[in-house]
Structure 1
Amino acid sequence: MDQHTTYSVQLYIYDLSRGMARQLSPIMLGKQLDGIWHTSIVVYGEEFFYGGVGISSCPPGGTMLGSPDSVVELGNTEVNEEIFMEYLSSLGESSYRGDRYRLFEHNCNTFTNEVAQFLTGHKIPSHITDLPSEVLSTPFGQVLRPILDSIHIAPPGGNVINGHNNHS
Structure 2
Amino acid sequence: MDSPPMLHLVKLYVYNLSKGMARCLSPIMLGKQLDGIWHTSIIVHRDEFFYGSGGISSCPPGGTMLGLPDLIVDLGFTEVSEELFLEYLASLGESIFRRDTYNLFYHNHNTFSNEAAQFLTGRKILSYITDLPSEVLATPFGKALRPLLDLSFGQALRPLLDPAT
TM range (shorter): over 0.9
Tell which deviates more after alignment, 143-152 or 47-56: 143-152
**2:57–2:164 contact (8 Å) kept in structure 1:** no
Quote the Cα distance in structure 2 between the aligned partners of 1:92 and 1:18: 29
Shift of 1:147: 2.6
Question: What percentage of residue pairs aligned between the two structures are identical?
Answer: 68
User: 1:117 — aligned with what?
Assistant: 118
Quote the Cα distance in structure 1 between the aligned partners of 2:29 and 2:90: 40
Structure 1 runs (4+) deviating above 6 angstroms are: none
Quote the Cα distance in structure 2 between the aligned partners of 1:149 and 1:48: 25
Shift of 1:105: 0.6
Instruction: Map Cα deviations across residues 140-165 of structure 1 (whole Å, 9 max, x no partner).
Output: 112232232232331126xxxxxxxx
Residue 146 of structure 1 aligns to which amino acid in structure 2?
P
1:13 aligns with 2:14: yes
> Going by fraction, where is helix more abundant, 1 or 2?
2
Indicate the RMSD between aligned Cα atoms, in angstroms: 1.0
Shift of 1:139: 1.1
Structure 1 unaligned segments of length 5 or more: list them. Answer: 158-168
Quote the Cα distance in structure 1 between the aligned partners of 2:149 and 2:42: 24
User: 2:30 — aligned with what?
Assistant: 29
1:58 aligns with 2:66: no
**2:52–2:164 contact (8 Å) kept in structure 1:** no
Quote the Cα distance in structure 1 between the aligned partners of 2:70 and 2:105: 21
**2:54–2:164 contact (8 Å) kept in structure 1:** no
Quote the Cα distance in structure 2 between the aligned partners of 1:149 and 1:51: 15
When the two structures are superposed, what TM-score results if normalisation uses the length of structure 2?
0.92
Q: 1:1-168 residue pairs with structure 2 within 5 A?
A: 1-150=2-151, 151=153, 152=158, 153-156=161-164
Quote the Cα distance in structure 2 between the aligned partners of 1:16 and 1:146: 21
Structure 2 unaligned segments of length 5 or more: list them. Answer: none
When the two structures are superposed, what TM-score results if normalisation uses the length of structure 1?
0.91
Quote the Cα distance in structure 2 between the aligned partners of 1:140 and 1:24: 12
Secondary structure of the residue that 1:57 maps to in structure 2? strand
